[in-house]
């Protein structure tokens, strides 16, 4: 199975002092950093997905702003692929599918921001396109939502979306368990 690490929207606006901070974004980015170091150590493919808002009334992830830049924990190297997107689904109107097919990748290991939006939309699309997915639950972050005037705290949002994905769409596991499973425990320990 050919695998790639797919890091979704780990951008400055989702962190403290950003325009739309997510709960536990710093902790999630540190777990994503562990996975990133492991993939780099093994010279496995890494794909960074960057959301750039194009809506006229957008308030965050605006073009040419510090908020749209990648967070320092996962800043791409020159040889790593960066794909820009404008929708929650990372496949919609992007080169992601062609890139994966060209590189014969069939397994995506996914972490990043907006579990309830980008992670959910991308994992479901990947599954529908025939990819096997692993979601690193502690390398993802969500925010509080509201439904019918009832607030839903960020941890409940995170748990609900991950629970829905784990049945059919993805294997959901911690970064440490994933790295141990594929024999990359040393990379996790080295970056801790």
Average pLDDT of the segment spanning 149-173: 96
User: Which of 88, 113, 24, 20 lies closest to 60 in space, CA to CA?
Assistant: 20
pLDDT digits (tens, 9 = 90+) for 68-124: 999 999 999 999 999 999 999 999 999 999 999 999 999 999 999 999 999 999 999
The fourth-level CATH superfamily of domain 3-191 is: Isochorismatase-like (3.40.50.850)
SS3 string, 107-152, reads EEEEEEECHHHHHHHHHHHHHHCCCEEEEEEEEEEECCEEECCEEE
Confidence bin at 190 (pLDDT 50/70/90): low
Q: Helix, strand, or coil here: 106? A: coil
Average pLDDT of the segment spanning 129-138: 98
Residue 186 has pLDDT above 50, yes or no: no
Taking the C-alpha atoms of residue 39 and residue 138, their distance in angstroms, rounded to an integer, is 17
Average pLDDT of the segment spanning 140-160: 95
User: Which of 135, 94, 89 lies closest to 112 in space, CA to CA?
Assistant: 135
Handedness of CA 168, 158, 80, 31 (dihedral sign): negative
149 vs 187, more confident: 149
Q: Write down the domain spans for the chain.
A: 3-191
Angle in degrees, CA 186, 188, 192, rounded to 5: 120
Handedness of CA 179, 185, 191, 192 (dihedral sign): positive
Taking the C-alpha atoms of residue 26 and residue 184, their distance in angstroms, rounded to an integer, is 22
pLDDT digits (tens, 9 = 90+) for 161-171: 999 999 899 99
Average pLDDT of the segment spanning 166-182: 94
pLDDT digits (tens, 9 = 90+) for 4-58: 999 999 999 999 999 999 999 999 999 999 999 999 999 999 999 999 999 888 8
């Amino acid at each position: 199975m050919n695998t790639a690490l797919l890091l979704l929207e780990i951008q400055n606006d989702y962190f403290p002092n950003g325009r739309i901070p997510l709960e536990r974004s710093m902790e999630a980015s540190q777990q994503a950093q562990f996975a990133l170091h492991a993939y780099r150590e093994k010279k496995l493919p890494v794909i960074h997905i960057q959301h750039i808002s194009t809506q006229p009334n957008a308030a965050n992830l605006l073009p040419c702003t510090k908020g749209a830049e990648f967070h320092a924990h996962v800043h791409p190297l020159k040889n790593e692929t960066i794909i820009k997107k404008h929708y929650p689904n990372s496949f919609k109107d992007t080169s992601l599918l062609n890139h994966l097919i060209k590189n014969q990748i069939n397994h995506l290991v996914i972490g990043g921001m907006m579990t309830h939006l980008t992670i959910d939309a991308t994992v479901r699309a990947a599954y529908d396109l025939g990819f096997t997915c692993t979601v690193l639950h502690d390398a993802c972050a969500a925010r509080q939502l509201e439904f019918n005037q009832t607030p839903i705290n960020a941890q409940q949002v995170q748990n609900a979306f991950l629970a829905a994905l784990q049945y059919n769409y993805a294997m959901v596991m911690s970064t440490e368990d994933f790295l141990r499973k594929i024999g990359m425990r040393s990379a996790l320990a080295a970056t801790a």
